[in-house]
Structure 1
Amino acid sequence: MTSSPSEPTGLRERKKARTRAAIQRHALRLFHEQGYSATTVDQIAAAAEISPSTFFRYFPTKEATVLYDPFDPVLIEAALAQPPELSPAAALRATAQTIRTQIAAEDWERERERQVLVFREPELRTAVMDKFAEGIDLLAGLAARRTGRAADDFEVRNWAGAVVGVVMAAFAGAAADPGADTLVILDEALAHLEAGLPL
């Protein structure tokens, strides 16, 4: 489908991103209010003032509204923009501090609610393992671009897997602590990784 003159591709993509964000926002609110299992796609669609068929154009399943991480592209873009002399791990730590100033507090609170839901709901916990596997590919690509090495390089993928491991541990710990600051815990996890994971 081509863009019309009155709706350039950039505008159309922004509108789609806003609709996707609205659907996820209403889904998370309903999951919080009435429970994940008790909430239906029809209820989410009604809350977002869209049809169920429109819902499925943005998310293939109910669980996808929780597993979708809108900040992944922001994180990668910010990490790639860090000074080239920083190691990949140091670039990720600097990125966490950079995005703290770029993302509104209410957006981070919603992201924290999403993470808590993922780690508390058994069926979502299982599904998120596939997302973390995708994260290895994402991080390997980031490391490759920052180091000039291949994304399928053995050491690059090992590093990406280690990052995913510490991120999983950090997020699981943050989900269990209502007062936790996810970005602080993430920074501590990456600092431990950067130090070689000493015990």
Structure 2
Amino acid sequence: MATSRTLRTRARILDAALDLFERQGYDATTVNQVAEAAGVTPMTFFRHFATKDAVLVTDPYDPLIAEAVGDQPGHLPPLERTRRGLLAALGDITPTEDATARRRVALVARSPSLRAAVAVGTEATQDAIVERLVADGTDRLDAAIAAAACLAATTAALLAWGTAPDDVTLAQLVRRALAHLAPAGAPS
């Protein structure tokens, strides 16, 4: 479990990085500049974030998402369990997390060099969902297809959100994206 000091240091690094990325651009900002702005050493930066792109594309939500998927009724098809789990996980994001996520997503949406990092982050989320579904008895291929489909829709919504008007929420766009995968008559 992370200590409050560790969480504060991580938040300070994240805030400094976002400020610098927004001011200077992602590609023009170095890890040393972020560390200096956050008042930490580069080594401390790397204790919290494995790479510069990790500041923007990693998040603590994979276990939450996997748990939300696992909490869905087991009689539902894997795609519907995953879709509903992602929708349920949205409700646990605080307004502060939402504002920080919007800044991160806006930067990613404007930086083509980060697309590969987004794919890696999405793969980690997919793996967490697949493992949860498999643990509940779902065939691995069926679990992978369900997770990939829902995450593709969610990623499209995330990238659109980064450049959407301020009054459009992440939850609105993700609900809209996942509604395309809902069976007829299912709640969206």
Q: TM-score band, normalised by the shorter chain?
A: 0.7 to 0.9
Specify the alignment match of 1:99 in structure 2. 92
Specify the alignment match of 2:58 in structure 1. 68
Cα 1:149–1:13, aligned 2, differ >3 Å: closer, same or farther? farther
Root-mean-square deviation (CA, aligned residues, Å) is 2.4
Cα 1:135–1:160, aligned 2, differ >3 Å: closer, same or farther? same
Cα 1:148–1:13, aligned 2, differ >3 Å: closer, same or farther? farther
CA contact (8 A) 1:83 1:91 kept: no
TM-score by length of 1: 0.77
In structure 1, the residue corresponding to 2:181 is in which secondary structure?
helix
> 2-side partners of 1:25 and 1:79: how far apart?
30
Structure 2 gaps, min length 5: none
Instruction: Report the CA distance between 1:181 and its aligned residue.
Output: 1.0
Instruction: Report the CA distance between 1:158 and its aligned residue.
Output: 0.8
CA contact (8 A) 2:150 2:178 kept: yes
Specify the alignment match of 1:165 in structure 2. 152
TM-score by length of 2: 0.81
Matched, 1:176 2:160: no
How many residues are aligned here? 179
Q: Which has the higher contact order (CA 8 A, sep 6+)?
A: 2
1:171 alignment partner AA: L
In structure 1, the residue corresponding to 2:142 is in which secondary structure?
helix
Equivalent of 1:149, from 131, 138, 142? 138
Structure 1 gaps, min length 5: 1-9
Instruction: Report the CA distance between 1:39 and its aligned residue.
Output: 1.6
> 1-side partners of 2:109 and 2:125: how far apart?
17
> 2-side partners of 1:172 and 1:36: how far apart?
16
2:137 alignment partner AA: G
CA contact (8 A) 1:170 1:185 kept: yes
Instruction: Report the CA distance between 1:84 and its aligned residue.
Output: 5.8
Matches within 5 A, 1:20-35: 20-35=10-25
Larger CA Rg, structure 1 vs 2:
1
CA contact (8 A) 2:158 2:170 kept: yes
